[in-house]
Structure 1
Amino acid sequence: MPGPEVDLTLLVDAAREAGKIALSYWKNDPKSWEKADDAGPVTEADLAVNDALQGMLRGVRPDYGWLSEESEADPSRLDARHCFIIDPIDGTRAFIAGQEGFSHSLAVARGDRIVAAVVHLPVRNVTYTAFEDGPALRNGEPIRPSHASLPGATVLTYRAAAEPGFWRGHHVPDFKREFRPSLAWRLCLAAEGRFDAALSLRAAWEWDIAAGSLIAERAGAVVSDRRGERMKFNSPKAMVDGLIVAGSMLHGQLLDALEPEQPPN
């Protein structure tokens, strides 16, 4: 059975090929449509990348399970020792708009833990990588999270997360809110300290955060769901209950400031 470092090499090669495919559609008016149940947009590029990745990855690891945003649910993944967790294009709205901030998010889970991960931004030519017990790298160079704390930290999150109802005593901590279209990229930006934290109080799909969670963890950030619990992957629902990713001090401050019983969002 190949180890995480070998799987990482496979993921990196696949992510770069995915980038080539995505760039052939980017700014070329790809066909797009809305998914059912208000699940967001999808394009012909998402599907082409998904098909290519499935062929590249499962062609080499046929015994690995497969969980992807753009594939039909396959319950057999739950019985697999290893599982690929893939978002072919994370940030599809940005991709449709011709913006640079979309990524490919590729991970391998062993049991309920991520052991190899890649987040690749093809337009920016930036690749984040990590594997179990190895370093987190950005284009081959080690990364570390910031040592920021409240007040004044810069947090990557969506607008609604700064509403008073999510915070103890309806007191929103003093942080500056920023946003980037790819959730996978947001985790990596927190991992490398360009921003101080990534926060989501909504349930997150595993394919959006699997790769970024390991990259942030191996960089030295504290990574948890919104309640401070360890994230678990390849679950039946394929969702994680929000996320807090930050250096240890800021992570603790954000967790302590959150209202334990969250309002609907």
Structure 2
Amino acid sequence: MPESDVALLAAAAREAGQIAKSYFQRDPDVTDKPDGAGPVTVADLAVNRMLEAELRAARPDYGWLSEESEDTAVRLEQQRLFIIDPIDGTRAFINGTKDWAHSLAVVENGRPIAAAVYLPMRDLMFTAQLGQGAEVNGFAIEIAGLDAISSATLLGAKPNFDARFWVGGTPPPVKRAFRSSLAYRLCLVAEGRFDGMITLRPSWEWDIAAGALIAAEAGATVSDQFGAELRFNNRHPQVPGVIVGAQSLHSELISRLETGQTKS
């Protein structure tokens, strides 16, 4: 039988890890992208070349959207596509810390249906298939399910908790933690290690498509900052922020937010 999309993504993510590790902590060449879009390393580009070649050969009828590939409108006409971040958390990669990931998803008609997020330096493989639950290294995972906002620990950059973004100028009474990779943040919520995640800046689809499915399949409510379902393969491949948590915690966060966006 043909290899499933999840198996295909996981195998490709592991191969990506081998390539990335060959550059890690070896002073890889770094270039700043135009318009303040952040850094890119030779490792990002090498991983992207492999993934595009192998995944597109395996699924030639799927579209392609990757942080490190030139985007075209062709993907908008395709029912299924790959959404890829060759290395999510490039700054962590450059700095020599472990919390960077390969983020791979298959999206069908705007919804992720298969996902793999792999952290090579931690050997953590998070996977999910729509309607089939989420796993890490083959073991089922689920969210912590905390409802009380006063005891919650949220993953998010400090600017998201500025007073101006919250009703009455009062940020929620939560503890805050941070990881460089958005994909990893979503997986940490899925695994139950943190109660929720928040980012109020426009978020690139390649950063979140895989992690959003993994979190949702682990039981989280996942939406944009206005509470709307995340939709992917948009003409401009961004969504307006991401809020993740157990249903009641998610609802509480949405109700406390003012309209606005920040940097994360």
TM-score bracket, shorter-length normalisation: over 0.9
* Deviation at residue 264 of structure 1 after TM alignment: 5.6
Give the 5 Å matches for 1:59-70: 59-70=57-68
* Deviation at residue 75 of structure 1 after TM alignment: 1.1
CA RMSD of aligned residues (A): 1.3
Q: In the alignment, what sits opposite 1:140?
A: 138
Give the 5 Å matches for 1:94-133: 94-133=92-131
* Deviation at residue 263 of structure 1 after TM alignment: 5.3
Give the 5 Å matches for 1:11-160: 11-148=9-146, 149-160=148-159
Aligned partner of residue 71 in structure 1, secondary structure: coil
Aligned partner of residue 4 in structure 2, secondary structure: helix
d(CA) in 2 for partners of 1:49 and 1:27?
16
Q: In the alignment, what sits opposite 1:225?
A: 224
d(CA) in 2 for partners of 1:76 and 1:147?
40
1:124-167 superposed Cα distances (whole Å, 9 cap, x missing partner): 00000001111100111111111222112100000101100000
Aligned partner of residue 133 in structure 1, secondary structure: coil
Q: Which amino acid aligns with 2:35?
A: D
d(CA) in 2 for partners of 1:44 and 1:72?
16
Q: Provide runs of 4+ in structure 1 moved above 2 Å.
A: none
* Deviation at residue 183 of structure 1 after TM alignment: 0.4
1:43-102 superposed Cα distances (whole Å, 9 cap, x missing partner): 000000000000110011111100000000121000011100000000000001111000
For structure 2, list consecutive stretches of 5 or more residues without a partner in the other structure.
Answer: none
d(CA) in 1 for partners of 2:262 and 2:50?
37
d(CA) in 2 for partners of 1:22 and 1:222?
32
1:13-59 superposed Cα distances (whole Å, 9 cap, x missing partner): 10000000000000111100110000000000000000000011001
d(CA) in 1 for partners of 2:252 and 2:201?
19
TM-score computed with the length of structure 2 as normaliser? 0.97
1:221-261 superposed Cα distances (whole Å, 9 cap, x missing partner): 000000000000011011011011101111111111111x2
Task: Identify if the C-alpha distance between structure 1 residues 153 and 52 changes in structure 2 by more than 3 Å, giving closer, same or farther.
Answer: same
For structure 1, list consecutive stretches of 5 or more residues without a partner in the other structure.
Answer: none
d(CA) in 2 for partners of 1:84 and 1:264?
28
Identical residues among aligned pairs (%): 52
**Cα contact 1:147–1:249 (8 A) shared by 2:** no
Would you say 1:247 and 2:250 are equivalent positions? no
Q: In the alignment, what sits opposite 1:187?
A: 186
d(CA) in 2 for partners of 1:254 and 1:158?
15
Q: In the alignment, what sits opposite 1:9?
A: 7
**Cα contact 2:160–2:262 (8 A) shared by 1:** no
d(CA) in 2 for partners of 1:172 and 1:263?
14
Alignment: residue pair count: 262
